[in-house]
Structure 1
Amino acid sequence: MKTDINLEIGRKIKSYRKIKNMTLEELSKKIYKSTSTISKYENGQIKIDVESLYLIAQAFDININNLLYIEDEYILDKGKDFLPAFFHDTAKFYTYFYDGRIKKVVKSKLNIISKINKNTYKVLMYMNYEDVKYYQICENTYTGIIEHYDAKSNILLTNRDTPMEKASIQILASYLDEETKWGLWTGFSSRPMMPVSFKMLFSKRELKVNKDLEEHLKISREDIRFLKLYNMLSTI
């Protein structure tokens, strides 16, 4: 079934407007369009022009890419691409970590967008979304690359809205064909402002967030044992 792009973009506009606690009238004044026109944008009844889309993104204080409809399934060429087994079957991954500050599991989605060279690919990560159907509506968006090597894969990310925030994720033994893999995120927290590292679980399919997953993501006694042994936070 062909995707109705106008409807998908309209849904995103409406979702962001509600997140920003903005009425149709308030958005109308910011982009110099009537409320009826904005309503038609949100319902996918009329096609939105590029200039208006930029004005809406500015009104919401977001990147315009967050409003675009993007096919998130990059077609991998297994014959030419250097791909560890874990990354063979899909170009989209679901990631999870437990945030002790808010005491909840944070869901993210990593999309492999395009190939740069033999072992390097462009990626986008959407962190902390509520609805997986509209995962681009999220707290933080990261751009970056993933590099594949024989023993591990590296993901290097930059926060699109706060470029000073850099992060790296190391995934060990990605040559093993498994449904999930552990990664170690090393980066920066703004709440409070400090360097952080935490375990991040990567999955080829969406996982149900429940108590079992939450406990799986928390730092375990074994993690603490290795921390004391090596004086380093590590994951295998």
Structure 2
Amino acid sequence: MQESFYKTLGQKLKASRKMKGITLAELAEAVHRSPASLSKYENGEVNIAIDALVEICTALNVDISELLPATYVDLKNADILKYEKHLIDRLYIYWYNGEEKRVKNAMIENSHPSMKSKIYFVTDAENSEYQSDFIYHGTVSYSDTSITFYYTNEAPPFDKVFIRMPLLFQKGRRQKGIMSCISLYYQGITLKILVSREPLTVTDEIRNELLMTPEEIKELKRTNMLIIK
């Protein structure tokens, strides 16, 4: 097994632990292991044994399958067969927060055998793609024109997120989409987003691309609909 596998696994464990508000010391006591050993697991410095992984996932109340790569494909699943060439394991999304005056981001991970999906909100890409403020669980579905995600936050504020984007045909191409969720003040909002198969460097060009264009504002006034072009 590659070293990167255990590093990624450790990052996911750390993100799940932090989201649960559990300290290393508390987890160590629950699984009867030292905080130092758990820290090495999380940093990918030591390969974690399957029995230790089961104990940790049980203590964190995390489904172990969410942390591991998919190992099968349901060949009877019509959607998987129909949209096989469009299936994407990982996506990066970006949006502009006008109140904070900065571009924010998230990372999506999909498991296509189960069509389950997770989104790591506001990731710290410089340190770890899995270090995030919130982790939402949900599903992904494909159609002839778009990819749709529906997520639920399993921790406060327990809100839901809906994301819709066009099918991504080319690897180097980014697409626009929409994300509906709630604001910091629990107001329903819809955001214009950029979607990419690979992480983007946030530049003025990216920022400007995320701003509402005069044409989009004009269409909003004309149709009373937010139409992202």
TM-score scaled by length of structure 2: 0.72
1:51 deviation in Å?
3.0
1:114 deviation in Å?
2.1
1:210 aligns with 2:198: no
1:17 deviation in Å?
8.4
Q: Which residue of 92, 95, 98 corresponds with 2:93?
A: 95
What is the match of residue 192 of structure 1? Answer: 185
What is the match of residue 224 of structure 1? Answer: 217
Cα distance change on mapping 1:103 and 1:159 into 2, 3 Å: same
1:122 aligns with 2:116: yes
Distance in 1 of aligned mates of 2:200 and 2:163: 20
Distance in 2 of aligned mates of 1:9 and 1:80: 26
Distance in 2 of aligned mates of 1:145 and 1:33: 34
What is the match of residue 106 of structure 2? Answer: 108
Distance in 2 of aligned mates of 1:76 and 1:205: 27
Report matched runs for 1:1-12 at 5 Å. Answer: 2-3=2-3, 7-10=7-10
1:220 deviation in Å?
2.1
1:101 deviation in Å?
2.8
CA RMSD of aligned residues (A): 4.2
- Which amino acid is 1:209 matched to? V
Kindly indicate whether the alpha-carbon contact (under 8 Å) linking 1:112 and 1:124 is maintained by their aligned counterparts in 2: yes
Structure 2 unmatched runs, 5+: none
Decide which structure has greater strand share: 1
Q: Which residue of 128, 131, 135 corresponds with 2:129?
A: 135
Distance in 2 of aligned mates of 1:175 and 1:24: 40
What is the match of residue 51 of structure 1? Answer: 55
1:217 deviation in Å?
0.7
Q: Report the count of equivalent residues.
A: 222
- Which amino acid is 2:55 matched to? E
TM-score scaled by length of structure 1: 0.70
SS in 1 for 2:99: coil
1:154 deviation in Å?
2.4
Kindly indicate whether the alpha-carbon contact (under 8 Å) linking 1:73 and 1:91 is maintained by their aligned counterparts in 2: no
Q: Note the alpha carbon deviations across 1:130-181, whole angstroms, 9 max, x for none.
A: 0267322211222222222223332222223248412222224x37557122
Kindly indicate whether the alpha-carbon contact (under 8 Å) linking 2:57 and 2:63 is maintained by their aligned counterparts in 1: no
Report matched runs for 1:16-27 at 5 Å. Answer: none
**Which segment is superposed worse, 126-135 or 194-203?**
126-135
What is the match of residue 227 of structure 2? Answer: 234
